[in-house]
């Protein structure tokens, strides 16, 4: 397989600035290493490092905010064939930063490509989730639903994650806990996590490669431009016009 013509962007939605280690980021690195091995061009955004306004418009400086770095960040996301969203679990949910990312992506969902389709058509997405208690599948469910709703394609097994025991404990990648040295780091030898991370990464690559080779989706029946121009395939009966 040759995936060298693909681009992937990882958006880490940790609550920690880049000065602190992100456990979610450590698991995302496992996927990134696979991408690197397959000669895929990758980029990483730690969203909390950027001054991204809240809201559901493309540029919130046009809606009362003094600053909004989202338009520049979105340029990187829009140029990628693959989007991987990483989030920690807090109170059983994705982080507030992940929710902001989804809201800002939703703000761009009205844009269209050169076929008149919504701009995320032909791109694929997955997610990486880490935490100390239950919630990987719950977080993945919300993230992946949101991404497919705005146009991303979701391949089989498009999520992966790691959770520790219920209650306080070491997080993914920790090398020390309460004075005890941990070797290997926590989670690194989890066959379940490593398998799911590998399968997710390759499923994203396969689907992205197939879509790119075929020029994305045909625009028969799903073109916003054609709909707005009056070609409403589903409503042939004049009473609906």
Q: Does the predicted TM-score (pTM) go above 0.75?
A: yes
Contact predicate 143/84, CB 8 Å = no
8 CB-contact burial (10 Å; exposed 0-12 / middle 13-18 / buried 19+): buried
- What does the pLDDT read at residue 66? 97
Contact predicate 155/207, CB 8 Å = yes
Q: Which residue stretches of the chain have pLDDT < 50?
A: 240-241
Query: Residue 105 has which token pair?
Result: 């992506």
Query: Residue 35 has which token pair?
Result: 């991408």
Q: Which domains does the chain have, with CATH numbers?
A: 7-240 (3.40.50.360)
- What does the pLDDT read at residue 226? 86
The SS3 assignment for 96 reads helix
- What does the pLDDT read at residue 238? 53
């Amino acid at each position: 397989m040759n995936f060298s013509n693909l681009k992937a962007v990882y958006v880490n939605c940790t609550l920690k600035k880049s000065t602190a280690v992100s456990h979610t980021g450590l698991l995302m690195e496992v996927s990134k290493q696979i991408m690197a091995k397959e000669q895929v061009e990758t980029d990483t955004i730690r969203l909390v490092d950027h001054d991204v306004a809240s809201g559901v418009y493309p540029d919130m400086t046009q809606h009362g905010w003094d600053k909004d770095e989202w338009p520049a960040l979105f340029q990187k996301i829009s140029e990628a064939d693959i989007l991987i969203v990483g989030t920690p679990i807090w109170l059983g949910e994705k982080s507030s930063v992940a929710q902001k990312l989804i809201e800002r992506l939703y703000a761009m969902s009205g844009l269209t490509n050169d076929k008149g389709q919504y701009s995320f058509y032909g791109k694929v997405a997955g997610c990486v989730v880490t935490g100390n208690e239950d919630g990987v599948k719950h977080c993945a469910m919300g993230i992946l639903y949101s991404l497919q709703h705005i146009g991303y394609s979701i391949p089989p097994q498009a999520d992966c994650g790691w959770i520790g025991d219920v209650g306080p404990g070491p997080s993914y990648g920790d090398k020390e806990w309460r004075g005890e040295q941990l070797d290997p780091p926590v989670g690194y030898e989890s066959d379940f996590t490593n398998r799911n991370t590998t399968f997710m990464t390759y499923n994203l690559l396969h689907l992205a490669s197939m879509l790119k080779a075929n020029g994305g989706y045909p625009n028969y029946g799903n073109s916003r431009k054609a709909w707005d121009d009056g070609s409403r395939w589903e409503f042939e009966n004049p009473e609906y016009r």
